[in-house]
Structure 1
Amino acid sequence: MRGSIALLVVLSAVASAQTAELTLLVRDGLTSRPVSGATLTVAGLSGTADDFGRAELLGVEPGPLRVVARGPGYAVLDTTLQIPAESHVVAVLPLAPEVEHLGEVTVEAETVNDALLRRRGFFARRQQRTGVFVTREELDQRGASQVADVFGGVAGVRVQHDAAGTSLVSSRRRGCLMAMYVDGTEMTYLARNLDAFPYDDIAAVEVYRGPAEVPLEYTQTKSQETCGAVLIWTRIVASDR
């Protein structure tokens, strides 16, 4: 890269060797701050700028002089200076900060609720392909608006409405209530009153339609052993405040 070099030439009173003196000042091309430790190559010889971004050269032959400056985080500056005889030349070398060009990056961010479901084992159990698994996104796509809607179309279970409330029973065993869990804790009252649970709080649901499907950690009571179990997982809803 070729930069715009500032030159200050001061004629010297010393004419014995017909040579010149050269002071190089390496600067950040945007801020003009010194670039300390910059590597300089002048006429095939290498040196390093001091803490002030400065390097001094004596006995420089007059004429065109190739100068290459390098600094960490900067593009290489390769330029040619015209050095008069019997002079002291001060050259400011501006280095352009390098811009990192990134290729196309695809970022898949896991939501807070997905992270919670992962810790709760939802996705691991789903991979085992036993039971029925429904996420919030799938429920919204169905147009569900209440808890009873979650189980519509799920084979092996039936929503039952009676004077006692709305319950979920096994269609394989007549009138057999499904065991209900919320965030891993059994909620026996929900078995006969599904409407008591707020639909908007649901993050995901697992439905196990018989004892053969129920995970071992949820087989401690008679309900799971005979009718199956439902696991409801709640979600975190962002506040507008």
Structure 2
Amino acid sequence: MMGRIPRWPGAVVPVLVLLALAAPTAGGQETAVRIHGVVVEEMTGHAISGALVIIAETGDSAVADRDGRFAFTARRAGVFAVEARQLGFRPVRATFELDVGESAEITFTLAAEATALPEVVVEGTPPVHPSMVEFFRRKAEGHGHFITREDIERERPMLMSDLLDHVPGVRIECKLGRQCWIDMGRAQPSLVGRSVCHVQYFVDGVRYGSPAEEVDINSFRPEDIEGVEVYRGASGVPPRYTGRDARCGVVLIWLRIGRPRLRS
């Protein structure tokens, strides 16, 4: 005889229970209470092997086989709360009553459950931009004066003239307040008292300004700079940046990625 089928709200019925009277045994004795069924996945309907099916009240349990099927005999008749569990799925419980001589066939439908993983902290050194690889190689060789991003963040200068003012052999000259330029003190002054040999500038490897003109160093902002190389004369200047005017000094400026070149 088929029995009652529990119902749950929603589109998915997580447990389907069929109750039936067991056939009497020889001598008029009824069979023991038996519970069997299958455990399947909600999304695919595939069997969930290894799922644990357990009766909370008695501790009777069974493990689903490769087809998701399980079977065991309960120790007594009465009200049963049967639960199916498997790692990675939300457990499902069915509650029903079995009289002596009845058996239950249960279909458990388990929904996958997202497993919260512990927070992972990844530590490492940020990758160096290709242009800065040569910067640090030259710094290690000891030619010139080098200012790194770490130096800038430590000193926190307001202007580039503040940053370069402490470089040995560099003299900062200013006019109109913040408009400043560098004099390495290597060239002879002209008739008007100003050097006719100007410091040469390269920004990210490209010549900046005219060789015959002074460059306002405060047109650059310290917060935009990744590194600075200062060479007082032609000696030690990387070959690609040498030239007739390198004797008056060369300044290589390396910008941080995505930063504008000029002060607005």
TM-score range, shorter chain: 0.5 to 0.7
Structure 2 residue runs without a partner (length 5+): 1-13, 53-60, 77-81, 189-194
Q: TM-score normalized by structure 2? A: 0.57
Equivalent residue number for residue 205 of structure 2: 184
TM-fit CA distance, 1:156: 1.9
Looking at structure 2, the residues matched to 98 and 142 of structure 1 have their Cα atoms a distance apart, in angstroms, of 47
TM-fit CA distance, 1:186: 1.9
Looking at structure 2, the residues matched to 153 and 171 of structure 1 have their Cα atoms a distance apart, in angstroms, of 15
Structure 1 residue runs without a partner (length 5+): 50-54
Code of the residue aligned with 2:39 in structure 1: it is L
Equivalent residue number for residue 223 of structure 1: 245
Equivalent residue number for residue 24 of structure 1: 38
Looking at structure 1, the residues matched to 155 and 240 of structure 2 have their Cα atoms a distance apart, in angstroms, of 30
**8 A Cα contact 2:39 2:51, kept in partner:** no
**8 A Cα contact 1:178 1:191, kept in partner:** no
Matched positions, count? 211
Equivalent residue number for residue 98 of structure 1: 115
Highest Rg: 1 or 2?
A: 2
Equivalent residue number for residue 52 of structure 1: none
The more displaced of 174-183 and 147-156 is 174-183
Q: TM-score normalized by structure 1? A: 0.61
Paired residues for 1:166-205 under 5 Å = 166-171=180-185, 177-189=198-210, 192-195=213-216, 198-200=219-221, 202-203=224-225, 204-205=227-228
- Residue 88 in structure 1 maps to residue 111 in structure 2: no
TM-fit CA distance, 1:199: 2.0
Equivalent residue number for residue 47 of structure 1: 65
Distance 1:199 1:97, change over 3 A: closer
RMSD (Å) for aligned C-alpha atoms: 4.5
Paired residues for 1:48-67 under 5 Å = 48-49=66-67, 55-57=68-70, 60-63=72-75
Code of the residue aligned with 1:36 in structure 2: it is H
Code of the residue aligned with 2:219 in structure 1: it is P
Looking at structure 2, the residues matched to 125 and 10 of structure 1 have their Cα atoms a distance apart, in angstroms, of 84
Looking at structure 1, the residues matched to 213 and 160 of structure 2 have their Cα atoms a distance apart, in angstroms, of 12
Structure in which a larger fraction of residues adopt strand: 1
Distance 1:97 1:180, change over 3 A: closer
Code of the residue aligned with 1:170 in structure 2: it is M
